Amino acid sequence: MMNFRFFKILTLIVSFFFLTGFVPIATIIGPGVTILTSGNIYKATAQFMIDQSIKKKTGKNSLTLVKEGINKQNQKNKFDNELRQLVEKRIKITKKKLENQNLQKLLKKQIKITRSIINLNNITQ
């Protein structure tokens, strides 16, 4: 008998939510799951209140807000990776130019030494 009464009350409450549009279903599902899994009504109430305050401030529910935050972070990471690749490419180009300059300086120095040796040989002969 008790189960039938509980079933009637639950049916009445659920039909009230579905038929009147009194409360958006998505905002009730989260706290409802929290109550069922943990049995903690305080935690479920806090979750519902936080979700409602986020919705009032941003116009979005907490799930949408988190999803947008993750998308922004992914875009930032993509930008950071592109910037890193560009900087690494420029560093490689600069390093190559410096190596070429150092090689040219070394080559000029060797040519100068070789000429001085040749001139010394010409003088002694």
Cα separation, 75 vs 28, whole angstroms: 32
pLDDT (0 to 100) of residue 67: 83
Residue 16 near residue 9 (C-beta atoms within 8 A) = no
How many Cα atoms within 13 Å fall on the side-chain side of residue 120?
Answer: 6
Residue with tokens 């659920």: 14
pLDDT (0 to 100) of residue 23: 55
Residue 34 near residue 40 (C-beta atoms within 8 A) = yes
Q: Tokens in use for 91?
A: 């560093």
pLDDT (0 to 100) of residue 89: 92
Residues 6+ apart with CB under 8 A from 41: 35
Total count of residues recorded for the chain: 125
Regions in the chain scoring below 50 on pLDDT = none
DSSP letter, residue 4: H
E strands, 22-82, in order: none
- Other CB atoms within 10 Å distance of the CB of residue 74: 10
pLDDT (0 to 100) of residue 46: 75
pLDDT (0 to 100) of residue 50: 80
